[in-house]
Amino acid sequence: MIQPYTPFDGIDQFFGRMGRGFELMGSAESVDHIAVDVADDGEQYQLTADLPGFDRDKIDLTVDDSVVTIHAEHNYDHDETSDDGSYLHRERRSASVQRRVRLPDGVDEEAVTASYHNGVLTVELPKRSSVAIEDGRRIDIE
């Protein structure tokens, strides 16, 4: 059975296309935020950050007094064609993200360790004794 045309058909199609555009835009923008959890066990802080899709060597982690800074980036080629031909749809893009987290107490920067497995960065931050350290320190990620 053929459905009759109504004046609202065009409007429905327009809002349907517009909604799909916002869905695509939302999924592409989700990489701009680093989700972080911080736990305190009394002796140290444990910071866990989700960084899916980033290579370990493209993640920079620094600790300066009570501030942890995570900076990560990845780049995708922006060619108009894939190996098999032209793209029909593209959501992967180059991205650079950064997050700073201030901890309530000072951190022993010399004792900080970090590891990165399956897109999750885990940082162990022992609390500092009363001796102050003046400069920040870049942390190597295992």
pLDDT digits (tens, 9 = 90+) for 81-136: 556 667 777 777 788 899 999 998 889 999 999 999 999 999 999 998 765 555 66
108 phi and psi angles, rounded to 5 deg = -75, 95
CA–CA dist 71, 92 (Å, integer): 19
- Domain spanning 34-139 has what CATH number? 2.60.40.790
Query: Residue 24 — pLDDT band, cuts 50, 70, 90?
Result: very low
Q: How many CB atoms lie within 10 A of CB 59?
A: 19
List the domain boundaries for the chain: 34-139
Nearest Cα residue to 107 out of 137, 122, 128, 131: 128
Amino acid type, 83: D
